[in-house]
C-alpha cells in the first residue's frame, strides 16, 4: 500500500524519521485545549463535554467564570517541526480526579509543557510534582489572560520553586507564534538534556 502524497496534511510525510510525544499539561481552565488546537496542523481531537451542575462541586471556576466545557479524556494534535521530526501533542485534563489518566499519558512522553496562570500559580504544584515524580522533564509557559497580574520572571520562578535550568516563558495559547515559541523552549531544553546525557 503506497503512502499518501506529502501535500495531504492528514498524513505524515515519508521523510519523517522521528516522532516525539509531548504532553501539554496544567490545572483546570488554563488553556490546554486552546494551545493544542492553535498549534495542530491536523484537525485536533478533542474530548470536551458540557459542564454540568454536578461539576460545580469539584471544578473551581475562579478565574474562568465563562467556561462551559471541560476536557474529559485528552486533546490530541500534531506539529511537523522539520522534514524528519514530528511532535505529537497530548493535552491532559486539568482536574485532580484525572490523576490516573495523567499517569497513563506519561508513558513514552519525552517531555511536558506546563501551562500556568498567574492568578492560580499554586494550582500548578500537583502537576509539576507528578512530572518530577515520574522523571519527565518540563518547561513552564505562563498563559496570558486578560486582567491577570503580571509578575517579574524571578518572582514566578520563586513562587513555582523552579530549578534554574527549567525554562520559563510567557505565551498566549490563542496565538500560533506565541504558542510555538513556548513549545520550542521545551524542545530546546530537551535537546540540551539529551546532549548532556551523552
pLDDT digits (tens, 9 = 90+) for 99-147: 777 788 888 999 999 999 999 999 999 999 999 999 999 999 999 988 8
Residue 79 β-bridge partners? 87
Give the pLDDT score at 43: 83
Confidence of residue 5 (pLDDT cuts 50, 70, 90): very low
- 159 membership: H or E segment, kind and range: helix 153-160
Enter the pTM of the model. 0.80
Taking Cα atoms as reference points, which of 112, 94, 98 lies closest to residue 29?
94
If phi > 0 it is left, if psi is from -120 to 50 it is alpha, else beta; for residue 186 that is alpha
Residue-wise pLDDT for 8-48, tens only, equals 566 778 888 899 999 999 988 899 999 999 999 998 765 55
| Helix, strand, or coil (residue 170) | strand
The two most distant CA atoms of the chain are separated, in Å, by: 56
C-alpha cell at 149: 497580574
pLDDT at 32: 93
Count of alpha carbons within 13 angstroms of residue 112, beta-carbon side? 29
Which residues face 142 on adjacent strands? 116, 170
pLDDT at position 35 is 96
Q: For the segment 74-105, what is each residue's pLDDT rounded down to a tens digit?
A: 789 999 988 998 999 999 886 676 677 778 88
Amino acid at each position: 500500500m503506497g503512502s499518501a502524497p506529502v501535500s495531504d496534511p492528514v498524513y505524515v510525510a515519508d521523510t519523517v524519521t522521528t516522532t516525539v510525544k509531548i504532553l501539554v499539561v496544567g490545572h483546570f481552565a488554563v488553556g490546554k485545549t486552546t494551545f493544542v488546537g492553535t498549534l495542530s496542523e491536523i484537525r485536533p481531537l478533542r474530548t470536551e463535554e458540557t459542564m454540568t451542575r454536578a461539576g460545580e462541586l469539584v471544578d473551581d471556576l475562579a478565574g474562568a467564570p465563562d467556561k462551559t466545557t471541560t476536557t474529559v479524556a485528552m486533546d490530541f494534535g500534531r506539529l511537523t517541526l522539520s522534514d524528519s521530526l514530528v511532535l505529537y501533542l497530548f493535552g491532559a485534563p486539568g482536574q485532580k480526579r484525572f490523576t490516573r489518566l495523567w499517569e497513563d499519558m506519561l508513558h513514552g512522553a519525552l517531555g511536558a509543557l506546563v501551562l500556568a496562570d498567574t492568578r492560580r500559580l499554586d494550582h500548578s504544584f500537583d502537576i509539576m510534582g507528578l512530572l518530577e515524580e515520574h522523571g519527565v522533564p518540563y518547561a513552564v509557559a505562563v498563559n496570558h489572560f486578560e486582567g491577570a497580574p503580571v509578575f517579574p520572571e524571578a518572582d514566578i520562578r520563586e513562587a513555582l520553586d523552579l530549578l534554574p535550568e527549567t525554562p520559563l516563558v510567557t505565551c498566549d495559547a490563542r496565538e500560533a507564534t506565541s504558542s510555538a515559541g513556548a513549545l520550542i523552549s521545551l524542545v530546546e531544553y530537551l535537546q540540551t538534556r539529551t546532549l548532556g546525557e551523552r
